[in-house]
Amino acid sequence: MASHTFRFKARWKEELVVIGPSGSFILELPMGVLTACLPTEQVWPTVAPDWAIDLWPVLKAELERWCAANGAGLEIDPNATVSPFYDSSAHATGRTIRMAGWFAVMLLLIAAAWLLLGPKVH
């Protein structure tokens, strides 16, 4: 089985989330005629995340395979956009909830310590 550097997830907002070895970004994925849009190799270094600048040939090859497997076209366009991806998934939300839980526990411990060790009122 071939290893892959990138994974792809289509989202409802005509976006293709590209998950790479050091981060994620979004490419356009118009749904009228399903087509992934990738900037040209010449433009790529000016729009790509720093960690992905040298990976354009790998990204293109893997995106071609993904497009073929998913019935999508691939358009190499100097005006194609690359956007940052902000994780709002359940995993990220769960992490936020866990952090809020720890914060609440710390507040309870501080309150308990204050009640037990705080100034005595006679």
Label each residue of 37-48 as H, E or C: EECCCCCHHHHC
Give the domain ranges of the chain. 7-84, 88-122
21 and 9 in contact (C-beta within 8 Å)?
Answer: no
Once rounded to an integer, what is the mean pLDDT over residues 33-57? 96
Instruction: State pTM to two decimals.
Output: 0.67
- 90 pLDDT more than 60: no
Once rounded to an integer, what is the mean pLDDT over residues 94-117? 63
Once rounded to an integer, what is the mean pLDDT over residues 59-73? 96
Residue located via tokens 């956009």: 81
63 three-state secondary structure: helix
Q: What is the DSSP letter of 31?
A: T
Give the percent of the chain with pLDDT over 70: 72
Sign of CA dihedral 26, 42, 32, 4: negative
pLDDT of residue 86: 78
What band does 93 get if pLDDT is binned at 50, 70 and 90?
Answer: very low
Separation CA 102–CA 99 (nearest Å): 5
